[in-house]
Amino acid sequence: MPGLIAPSDYSREPPRHPCLQVNSKEPFNAEPPRRALVSSYVTSVDLFYKRNHGPIPIVDDIERYRVSVTGLVANARELSMADIRKLRKYNVTATLQCAGNRRTAMSKTKKVRGVGWDVSAIGNAIWGGAKLCDVLELLGIPKLTTSTPLGGKHVEFVSIDKCKEEKGGPYKASIPLIQATNPEADVLLAYEMNGEPLNRDHGYPLRVIVPGVIGARSVKWLDAINIIAEECQGFFMQKDYKMFPPTVDWDNINWSSRRPQMDFPIQCAICSFNDIDAVKQRKVTISGYAASGGGRGIERVDISIDGGKTWIEAQRYQKSGLTYVADGANSDKWAWVFFEAEAEIPGTAEIVAKAVDIAGNVQPQTAEEIWNLRGILNTSWHRVQVRLGHSNL
């Protein structure tokens, strides 16, 4: 596609914030420190985790940039940024979470393959752009369409970055057409993040945002949108980002036996402490984030200071001064919820957090029971060991 180019090496990467903890340099994968993550409900672009599979693409001429929309539709089109900006603009506050969030902790049970992440491969931003359903309507696909007359049932997003896993080909993923054409699903073609044009790391000039779904489906640096009959056959849909049971290992894996992961499950993490930490006073404030997929709100966050024997309920909030109500008119449906609780700890304490969503889904107790070879979706109870004493660890 003219206007957008994909370098084949890492000599032209964008500048990045020095606070980021870098988990892999090439491709660049990094997350902010825990405490910084929960310092703001809307994550700053600089600190937002960066998850890449190749060198960052470059826009050489935004005027020439087009995204092609083709496939099983009567009238294919090429859309410029001006065409997309002409459509009604929506600002959707949505949390993006990598399926690999908390992978490092899962590896402690038994080694998993993949980039290691602490608890910060997640962030919450205000994404500005056009709704995908409005873009598809330009092509004559009505709202809430399951299948086009030509048999299109999925919408594939294709990028231009060069990914090793795709043997140098681009990153791609798809979602069902019914979700793409549902205005309530809020799937965006986003050109802004927190009121600014997207930066290179996050998909400039145009990316997909699929709220409530693992980050892997929110394709950055969009080159083409294809209406297709079957779900995308790319590596990241078929040979990655699938959840297997603990019995499956690299010698007996059958990738086609599982569906690609879409919604993320209920998750929460404590961000006010490291996994092993020290405090100067008995009285502590325990805070962090909770999020669930599919737009499910957070019903409850439970905190224990005795390893899970007894529990107290944490307070939840999205905006200060406004009580968070799951499914409430003032709540951001697709966004994380912060929690906070105060407690007095004895000399040493295992502090635990677990969240419950509005469907009553709860987090599993241990990583063992959900261990999977790719180390995705570690949503086990988050435990930190805290002792009274000096904090120079």
Ligand X SMILES: Nc1nc2c(c(=O)[nH]1)N[C@H]1C(S)=C(S)[C@@H](COP(=O)(O)O)O[C@H]1N2
CA distance 92 to 311: 34
Judged by CB under 6 A, which of 98, 190, 298, 353 binds ligand X?
98
Comparing CB distances to Mo ion, the nearer of 28 and 324 is 28
Convert residues 145-174 into a mask of x (bound to ligand X by CB under 6 A) and - (unbound). --------------x-x---------x---
Closest distance to Mo ion from the beta carbon of 213 (Å) = 11
Kindly state whether residue 53 participates in binding ligand X, applying the rule CB under 6 A: yes
In the block, tokens 């086009």 appear at 148
SS3 at position 26: coil
Q: Which does 220 bind (CB under 5 to 8 A by kind): ligand X, Mo ion, none?
A: ligand X
Q: Say how far apart CA 358 and CA 337 lie, in whole Å.
A: 13
Task: Confirm or reject binding of residue 96 to ligand X (CB under 6 A).
Answer: yes
Tokens read off for 55: 């060198």
Measuring CA to CA, how many Å separate 259 from each of 16, 177, 233, 255?
35, 16, 12, 9
103 binds ligand X (CB under 6 A): no
Name the residue nearer to ligand X (CB basis): 221 or 244: 221
Among 6, 49, 260, 295, binds ligand X (CB under 6 A): 49
Closer of 135 and 160 to ligand X (Cβ): 160
Q: By CB under 5 A, is residue 37 in contact with Mo ion? A: no
Residue with Cβ nearer Mo ion (153 or 162): 162
Task: Give percent helix, percent strand, percent coil of the chain, each to the nearest 5.
Answer: 10, 35, 55
Residue nearest to Mo ion (CB): 98
With vertex at residue 40, the alpha carbon angle to CA 36 and CA 42, rounded to the nearest 5 degrees, is 120
User: CA-CA distances (angstroms) from residue 8 to 26, 163, 207, 378?
Assistant: 11, 9, 20, 32
Shortest Å distance, C-beta 348 to ligand X? 35
Cα dihedral: 175, 328, 96, 320 (round 10): 170
353 SS3 class: strand
Among 129, 293, 126, residue whose Cα is nearest residue 212: 293
Residue type at position 161: D
Tell me which residues in 82-101 interact with Mo ion (CB under 5 A): 98
- The residue behind tokens 């059958």 is 254
Name residues contacting ligand X, limited to 291-320 (CB under 6 A): none
Q: For ligand X, give the closer residue by CB, 96 or 175.
A: 96
Q: Out of 162, 202, 333, 354, which residue is the one contacting ligand X (CB under 6 A)?
A: 202
Q: Is 3 in the site for ligand X (CB under 6 A)?
A: no
Interatomic CA distance for residues 208 and 132, integer angstroms: 8
Q: Which stretch binds ligand X (CB under 6 A): 177-185, 217-225, 262-270, 287-295?
A: 217-225
DSSP 28-42: TEEE--HHHHTT-SS
Residue 161's binding partner out of ligand X, Mo ion, none, with CB under 5 to 8 Å set by partner kind? ligand X
Identity of the residue numbered 126: I
Q: Which of 219, 269, 303, 377 is the binder for ligand X (CB under 6 A)? A: 219
Q: Could you tell me how many residues of this chain bind Mo ion (CB under 5 A)?
A: 4
Q: 221 or 381: whose CB is closer to ligand X?
A: 221
Q: Which residue from 4, 34, 48, 51 is in contact with Mo ion, where contact means CB under 5 A?
A: 51
Residue 50 binds ligand X (CB under 6 A): yes
**CB of 320: closest distance to ligand X in angstroms?**
25
Contact residues for 69 (Cβ-Cβ < 8 A; gap 6+):
76, 77, 78, 79, 135, 136, 138, 139, 224, 225, 226, 227
Number of residues that bind ligand X (CB under 6 A): 18
Residues 137-176 that bind Mo ion (CB under 5 A): none
Q: Does 375 engage in binding with ligand X (CB under 6 A)?
A: no
Binding letters toward Mo ion, positions 189-228, x by CB under 5 A: --------------------------xx------------
- DSSP string spanning 263-300? B---EEEE-SS-SEEEESSSEEEEEEEEE-STTPPEEE
Least separation, in Å, of the C-beta of 151 and ligand X?
26
Which burial class, exposed, middle or buried, applies to 257 when counting CB atoms under 10 A from its CB (0-12, 13-18, 19+)? exposed
- Which residues lie near ligand X (CB under 6 A)? 48-53, 96, 98, 159, 161, 171, 202, 215-216, 218-221
Binding site for Mo ion (CB under 5 A): 51, 98, 215-216
